[in-house]
Structure 1
């Protein structure tokens, strides 16, 4: 479904006109487009998207925007379409199934390796409650905007290994889109060596971006440490050890949990809980935008580091 068929609002069209939607990377591409990154965040978190709740027109509108950006970047869909529908159950009657749609894009690597890295960010949020929009700027318009920036960079400078970009639906309903992807991947499951998951990367007064997952996969620690040495944000490791107080283990709280459950190594990059988390105040205006831009630079650096080390990850994990 084309976004142009969904939109009739002059206000949204004016906002989108500032975003270079569907414009491919220029020939003088020189790295992360920090202005485009903010445009994507602002549009995805706008009132027009109505909180992007799974199964709603606002969610479909966000999906259309993401697909047009991918088309403009010039990446290929996985299969014949970017859209990959699935069904799931969620607090409904026996046998009742709800629809969701993941968005899948791919970039072919320059080597003949079978190793694949899957990069994920969920685009759904909480929708509307009592007539109030829960915009979900940090959760997770920020991860989607960052993932679009990574797709643009890798499209211009191809990776060594094949990459699959998954813009995940229905995360807020129990990681449903990620579970659907892992249950029916478009490549042999054993070829998926690593998952890099982005969820909430735009709000940190302390400029801290957490790297979650090294407790389970300690061989990933040197990668995180190398990127942390180069980063202009703080990149500590943690929030992944079991047995602590509630909220101290994020392993299964976001889409990377579905990959971990299948034995696929992961790193989840995200900020700490903050006052806007799952609140209507999670808006573009309340984000720490310079941190978000710097964090996305670090995320891109980490994705490049992971691509360069997929062979090591496969060997250490036995995949």
Structure 2
């Protein structure tokens, strides 16, 4: 059962004046759209060799993300931004690295919202590089745009920016993050997970998690959040569609009774195929999706999530 302070509409509910919210994020961009597209083109290029956990390509991707955090002025949450871990899967020993940055909150510095995106993908199979542009270079580069935005306009709650490794190997990175206690689970009030957010044939971005939490559902219903796209709540296991509650790293938070919002698109023909490449993303949809996700996050951040 989720925490009582997140299940009530009114107990301890406190709104704060948010001056930057007076101008819609749909109308004004607080992150560089050109940089967002430059980042996804780079991270999904052949140079990163599909970013499979433990490979040279994954190590190169790790350094790319660390360099961006450092350039943006995002503080390291752990030494050198790294959280290393290892595990066995099908008798193969893997070594992975989560990348963790932090921006301190202005009002609630001891409460954390974790914005996450996995940076690993499928690597090279049968001589073909699986570049993983949508899955999930798109989420990682969106995360970097979140960081750019919140360096300019600091959040009220502290934010941990978590680029998880080994999601494709049964969510090992996010599981280790939660198990390690590097951030006390009792201090984490939300996970916002970004996984596959750069293309949609129906111009639709799904948000998962609102059916599990009354407060998050209320925000969705009461606010105009979408920027030039359709934002649809669903895939929570209650609408007859495929249940995405356990589909990505947000599951690791859900199992610890931490509320989550997972943003993603429907599967497409290039999912887990070598054809998931930069030329298949839809730049305007992607930009609008990032603006939409920032809008939603800000509405949640504007609430006092405890009492």
Please classify the TM superposition score into its range, dividing by the shorter chain length.
Answer: 0.7 to 0.9
Give the structure 1 partner of residue 123 of structure 2: 127
Confirm or deny: 8 A CA contact 2:216 2:300 kept in the other structure.
no
Aligned pairs for 1:45-56 (under 5 A) are 45-56=44-55
Report 1 or 2 for greater relative contact order, CA contacts < 8 Å, sequence distance ≥ 6: 2
Give the structure 1 partner of residue 7 of structure 2: none
Confirm or deny: 8 A CA contact 1:127 1:135 kept in the other structure.
yes
Aligned pairs for 1:248-267 (under 5 A) are 248-267=242-261
Cα distance, 1:113 vs structure 2: 5.0
Let me know the Cα RMSD of the aligned residues.
1.8
Higher normalized strand content (fraction of residues): 2
Give the structure 2 partner of residue 68 of structure 1: 67
Task: Point out where structure 1 has 5 or more consecutive residues left out of the alignment.
Answer: 1-28
Give the structure 2 partner of residue 58 of structure 1: 57
Residue 115 of structure 1 aligns to a residue whose secondary structure is: strand
CA distance in 2, matches of 1:67, 1:229: 30
Residue 36 of structure 1 aligns to a residue whose secondary structure is: helix
Aligned pairs for 1:234-273 (under 5 A) are 234-241=230-237, 244=240, 248-273=242-267
CA distance in 2, matches of 1:228, 1:88: 43
Cα distance, 1:99 vs structure 2: 0.9
CA distance in 2, matches of 1:110, 1:267: 22
- 2:305 pairs with 1:305: no
Give the structure 2 partner of residue 279 of structure 1: 273
Cα distance, 1:218 vs structure 2: 3.0
Cα distance, 1:114 vs structure 2: 2.7
Cα distance, 1:243 vs structure 2: 9.4
Cα distance, 1:112 vs structure 2: 4.3
CA distance in 2, matches of 1:176, 1:243: 29
Q: TM-score, normalised by structure 2?
A: 0.87
CA distance in 1, matches of 2:198, 2:259: 24
CA distance in 2, matches of 1:303, 1:279: 31
CA distance in 2, matches of 1:54, 1:304: 32
What are the Cα deviations for residues 223-247 of structure 1, in whole angstroms up to 9, with x where unaligned? 22345445321111111116957xx
Aligned pairs for 1:190-209 (under 5 A) are 190-209=186-205
Aligned pairs for 1:137-156 (under 5 A) are 137-156=133-152
Task: Point out where structure 2 has 5 or more consecutive residues left out of the alignment.
Answer: 1-27
Number of residue-to-residue matches in the alignment: 280
